[in-house]
Copies of this chain bind each other. A is one copy, B any other.
Amino acid sequence: MTTTVIVGGVAGGMSTATRLRRLDENMEIIVVEGTGHVSFANCGLPYHVSDTIPKRSSLLLQTPQSLRARFNLDVRVNTLATAIDREAQTVTLVGPDGTSQQHYDYLVLSPGGVPIIPPIPGIDRALTLRTVEDLDAIKEQLDSTNAKSAALIGGGFIGLELAENLVKRGMDVTVIEKAAQILAPLDPEMANIVTKHLEKNGVKVITGADTTAITEKTVELKDGQSINAELVVAAIGVRPRNELAVQAGLEVGERGGIKVDEQLRTNDPRIFALGDAAEKIDAASQAPTLVPLAQTANRHGRLLADIIAGRDDDRTTVKPTLGTAIVGLFELAAGAVGWNEKRARAEGRNVRIIHLHPMSHAGYYPGAAQLHLKLVIDAETDLILGAQAVGRSGVDKRIDVISMAMRTGMKAQELADVELAYSPQYGSAKDPINMAGFIDDNILRGERTFQWYEVEDAINDGWTLVDVRTPGEYERGTLPGAVNISVDELRDHIDELRGKKLLVNCQVGLRGHIAVTILSQYGIEAANLDGGYLTYSHGTQK
């Protein structure tokens, strides 16, 4: 009998196990899991803290018993794999019944990630949130101490989700982020929208924070701030749990991910790796990357079972990853796919950037909310490198549509022609996605745009700033030194504008585009401020 041992019983490991059984009724399949729970809902953990998900049991999707009954799996919880003997094809298992050597024909490593713990004095008091046991510890501390204040060290997805749920428990919550912005997958002008929303909902957000010490009741920052924090959670991110692989001489990458080929094989052909512990291939650069996402682990688990069961065709290979992700915070969603502008520029790409702020659905139908959308486009190929979206509704949909465009190699300009489901509750006759395609097309046809961070340089470079909004809008705030000529009156002011270089802005970029088309046709050099005053405000807000 062939034996497959799977280390890790959550997303990647358990998807491998159940699919493998469906393909091979006779194989011995052993799943070992270090914690006390398999197939639990990692992504749901923060929501039980506030009882948004009221029942702990609803996070436990399967048990060893249910998996035995349906899939005839040998699932062993509280069991660690501590060593691999590749020569002998055995793995050392340490569980409730002691230590044993388990033979394998195939070994699957899906141990996940380890929360990163920064070397700060007093950090041993900080909890983490990755397992059901972690969740229990947080709830136990909150319930037993009746804590009123919390600090989250790290402004990523998990830290912010926890912040929301702790606020919903009525606590004073501070997010402490070392970088200049929260939510690293977003560019700063997009992340700032989220920061403002968090603050409006009672979360204190400190960026550029240098944590120097954690005391019994506080977190101390280098700038002298002392943050009340009866509860401290370290939510900086995870690194691949690679110790077992390293000890066995399996290759790991620069950032610690276990190296695998496109069939998820390590450098030992009998050992496979997947999930947060394994490297992925980045879709834009084709370089190794780490993408700790549940969906990728699940998908790779199914594929790996096919591979172990002997399937071998052109579909049985891992596809490069786009890293599509989303987070919901106090009814606001922030999503991203692919590269952000920072990343694209760091990679030396020549990019075209588009910001737009359309309504999530037809503005005349109740409940429409403004969507903030950003595209990062390869200026040479017109391929989409990445996108970001923030808003109250329709964010997931637009990110998914762009993810599809990226996966299929659709050009940005082609977004103009995609046909999305429209009725006034769900979209617009010109959907935000179509609008992005229109804007890209305009730029491809020669319209020049400036980004929010280029305004200062433009002024120094002799551009005259013209705000083409209404006087009322202009009064409420404009760009430094901008004069006001509303778009509907522009044709009456052509003569006085001749000979100048005009950087035009409106609120979101649409009237600015119209203004530029008028001015250009009168022979006036004109450029539009991409995303309008709104993107400028988002980028420059403090």
Contacts and interface: CB of A to CB of B under 8 A. Distances in A.
Interface of A: 11, 22-26, 41, 43-44, 47, 52-53, 58-59, 61, 69-72, 157, 293-299, 302, 311, 315, 319, 321-328, 333, 335, 337, 362, 364-366, 395-397, 399-401, 403-405, 407-410, 413, 416-427, 429-431, 434, 438, 441, 445, 487-488, 491, 513-514, 517-518, 521-522
Contact of A41 (B41, B333, B424): B424
Contacts of A323: 419
Given A315-B413, A418-B403, A44 B364 contact: yes
A362 to B, nearest CB: 7
A96 to B, nearest CB: 25
Given A11-B429, A43-B362, A430-B295, A400 B424 contact: no
17 contacts: A25-B522, A53-B364, A53-B366, A59-B364, A293-B422, A294-B429, A295-B430, A296-B419, A298-B430, A299-B430, A311-B445, A315-B441, A324-B420, A333-B425, A337-B419, A400-B421, A408-B409
A416 B491 contact: no
Contacts of A425: 328, 333
B434 A299 contact: yes
Given A44-B364, A400-B401, 10 more contacts: A53-B365, A70-B488, A294-B422, A311-B445, A324-B422, A333-B426, A397-B400, A401-B401, A401-B404, A403-B418
Given A70-B514, A404-B418, A423 B25 contact: no
A452 B478 CA distance: 62
Contacts of A401: 400-401, 404
Nearest to A397: B397
A44 B429 contact: no
A117 B396 CA distance: 41
Contact of A422 (B25, B61, B326): B326
A417 B325 contact: no
Contacts of A429: 11, 43, 294-295, 297-298
Contacts of A321: 419
- Most chain B CB within 10 A, of A70, A425, A430, is at A425
A517 B18 CA distance: 11
Contacts of A420: 295, 324, 396, 400, 403
A1 B52 CA distance: 66
A434 B413 CA distance: 27
Nearest to A57: B364
Contacts of A47: 365, 424
Contacts of A413: 315
Contact of A326 (B61, B423, B514): B423
Contacts of A366: 52-53
Nearest to A48: B364
- For A24, A157, A364, A434, the residue with the greatest tally of chain B CB atoms inside 10 Å of its CB is A364
A397 B326 CA distance: 14
A25 B421 contact: no
- Residue among A315, A366, A409 with max Cβ neighbours from chain B (10 Å): A315
Contacts of A26: 521
**What are the 4 tightest A-B residue pairs by CB atom distance, in nearest-first order?**
A408-B408, A404-B404, A326-B421, A25-B521
A416 B299 contact: yes
Given A22-B517, A295-B422, A326-B423, A487 B53 contact: no
A421 B396 contact: yes
Contacts of A513: 22
B333 A23 contact: no
A416 to B, nearest CB: 7
Given A44-B364, A298-B430, A429-B295, A418 B422 contact: no
Contacts of A294: 422, 429
Contacts of A41: 362, 364, 424
A418 B427 contact: no
A423 B410 CA distance: 25
B487 A424 contact: no
A22 B512 CA distance: 12
Nearest to A22: B517
Given A298-B429, A416-B299, A431-B295, A423 B43 contact: yes
Contacts of A70: 487-488, 514
A466 to B, nearest CB: 16
Contact of A396 (B157, B427, B521): B427
Contacts of A71: 514
Given A326-B426, A366-B53, A404-B405, A337 B421 contact: yes
